[in-house]
Amino acid sequence: MKGNKMSAILAILLMLSGALFVPRAFAQVPADAVESSPLTINWTYPAHAPGETFNLYIDVINVVDLFSFQAGFRFNPTALQVVSVAEGGFLSNNGADLTLSFPGYIDNVGGVVGAYGWSLTDTTKAKTGSGHLLAVVMRINPALWPPYTNGFPGGPVSMADLTDTNMDPTELILMHKDGASEITPLTANIRDGTFTLSVSPANPVAFFTYLPVTVYKDEVVHFDASGSTQGWNGYANVPIVNYHWDFGDGTIVDDVDALIDHTFTWVSPPDIMTFTVTLTVTDADGRSSAPFSRDITAQVRPTGAAIDLQTQRWRYQDPTLIVDPFFGEGLHVAADLFRPGEWVQLFAYVSYNGDGVQAQLIAYEVHDNNDNIVLTGTAITNADGWALYEFRIPWPCDPPGPTSLFGTWSAIVTWEVGDMSGIPYAKTINDTITFQVGWGIWIKDIDTTDEFGVHKGDFFKSELVYVKIHIQNDYMMARLATITAVIYDDLMVPINTPAVLTDYNLMPGQSYVLMVGIHLEKWAFVGTGTAKANAFTKLPFLSGISWCPEVTTTFIIKKTP
């Protein structure tokens, strides 16, 4: 059991854009149970991806003078694994009273947790009431569970393999304080009890993306709603059967496919139009989502002399290159964020009636977040009409360091071209882009809390320290992050292994609150504890790099009374 304790790390709840998602499940107990529903099983977070962990509790309700217990249960080993089993804290009053443990066993092949037990050392302190008997850390089987495809972390996930998982009646014994009799007849307690996931039904969630990002009149735009979240009937996902599109130009379409093409057309002028595209999805049970809308600006392709400033269409994200559709194509269109030290390529496309113009002098100027001129430069267009100027975002060494650069930057290109309207001199045309400079993915703050996310500043040894992490994605596209939390005792000894959420999908412009729990070992030194959170592209041993600086908070470690 000690070896298992080292992995006693759990990821137990998520909050997406401020919306708390806390599903619960309860044991089914026969109506003739002598106690008033003396046993429940619940978990606070059904994990969302292969390899993720969650905490499952075996609880008692309204027991009288409980002195000792043993408990075990069965589970589906195809879907789940048990990482560790620990005392839930009810009997020991969360560490205030001494208990003796009776080691059980974990069988991840047969799907059994066998008869873990604890007994009070002082019979006068027998417990009456309700609380956690066992705290079990479970993991979704990383090898056998189907891949997670839900586009929204925090959305409901089917845990069908937990349904109708039999409790083993021989594995539950609740002992009276006299140490010799059971509190209730075993056969009346949880015979053939089952536990099932019971989450309130949830509507589907509509979401779509579109390409190209810069939309031109009379040209095809590809819409993709496959990132929408299915409905939830309380026990399983319910597939989406209808995608209702309102393209904002009078075109309304109902489709069973998540992919659809549309062309925006109108009689010019004007040369620029904005359309509000709205999607509503409906699942097979008839639940409909709230409308999801985006404003899409379409423009007429320029004629005559034109210049278009863009950034690179491929971005380096360790350890690979990724396509970035937000590169600023079009007149005065923003580009995606750049990090301190990141390489920036400024492409200018010079054309006349849609044909590239070669051997033209192009002037560049870049301003920082305080509107200071960072650079000026000149480039010459190639045979296809493209000019390129390159630089790297600074990384100041002096305080306040890179963050002093964070904010909105701008770049401008200009081209002098002859005018055919009878004016004997040339005219100057330009294009600008803006882009943010920042960490991109960054941890806004962390806190230590109780299991419900409420701030808690002190913990007894053997308790779970819950670390709440507030993380933000400032990119214009979704990015993956691996998020870790580590706790240390007063001597800065790391406690347990880090809590790790791997390849967490952060949607663009969204803020998330994640909460993980780490077991505070009995050997921890009392005093000031420290919690630290990090965000990486991948773990360092996989050649991952840091997204942002580490964030730290402190808490108090108290000795067991």
459-513, pLDDT tens digit by residue?
A: 999 888 989 899 999 999 889 899 999 999 999 999 987 888 888 888 888 888 8
The predicted pLDDT at position 285 comes to: 93
Judge if 320 and 455 occupy the same domain: no
Q: Is 402 inside a domain boundary?
A: yes
Do 17 and 160 fall within a single domain? yes
Q: Within 10 A of 553 (CB to CB), how many other CB atoms are there? A: 16
pLDDT at 266: 95
Q: Are residues 496 and 417 in the same domain?
A: no
> Distances from the Cα of 182 to the Cαs of 63, 65, 128, 177, 185, in angstroms?
11, 11, 14, 9, 7
372 and 290 within one domain = no
203 in any annotated domain: no
CATH number at residue 506: 2.60.40.3880
Domain that holds residue 372: 305-437
Which portions of the chain are predicted below pLDDT 50? 1-48, 144-173, 176-200
Q: Which of 468, 469, 466 is nearest to 450 (CA)?
A: 466
Residue 174 covered by a domain: yes
Please check whether residue 19 lies inside any domain of the structure: yes
Domain boundary among 437, 463, 498: 437
pLDDT of 189 reads 30
Angle at 121 between CA 116 and CA 124, to 5 degrees: 120
pLDDT for the residue 337 = 97
Indicate left, alpha or beta for 354 from its phi (over 0: left) and psi (-120 to 50: alpha): left
Q: Which contiguous run of DSSP H or E holds residue 286?
A: none
Residue ranges of E strands in 17-158: 19-21, 25-28, 39-43, 53-74, 80-87, 99-102, 105-107, 112-120, 127-140
Residues 21, 162 within the same domain: yes
43 and 174 both lie in a single domain: yes
Give domain status of residue 386, yes or no: yes
**Is omega for the bond preceding 319 within 30 degrees of 0, making it cis?**
yes
Give residue 15's pLDDT.
23
In this structure, are 460 and 528 located in the same domain?
Answer: yes
Q: Which two tokens stand for residue 131?
A: 């609380």
For position 433, which CATH number holds? 2.60.40.1930
Contact 74, 108 (CB under 8 A): no
Asked if residue 69 is part of any domain, the answer here is yes
Give the predicted TM-score (pTM) of the model: 0.62
Contacts of 83 (CB under 8 A, 6+ apart): 4, 7, 8, 9, 53, 137, 138, 139
Decide: 418 and 428 in contact? Cβ < 8 Å: no
In a domain, 266, yes or no: yes
Domain identity same for 36 and 153: yes
CATH of the domain at 239: 2.60.40.10
166 and 67 together in one domain: yes
Q: Domain tally for the chain?
A: 4
Is 344 inside a domain boundary? yes
Domain boundary residue, one of 132, 164, 197: 197
pLDDT of 275: 97
Tell which of 197, 225, 251 closes a domain.
197
**Same-domain status, 40 and 87:** yes
Q: How many CB atoms lie within 10 A of CB 307?
A: 24
**Do the Cβ atoms of 540 and 499 come closer than 8 Å?**
no
pLDDT of residue 552: 98
Considering the domain architecture, whether residues 187 and 283 belong to the same structural domain is answered as no
What letter would DSSP give residue 293?
E
Which region, left, alpha or beta, applies to residue 164 given φ > 0 means left and ψ of -120 to 50 means alpha?
left
Residues 473 and 519 in one domain: yes
DSSP class of residue 189 equals: H
Q: Are 144 and 79 within 8 A, CB to CB? A: yes
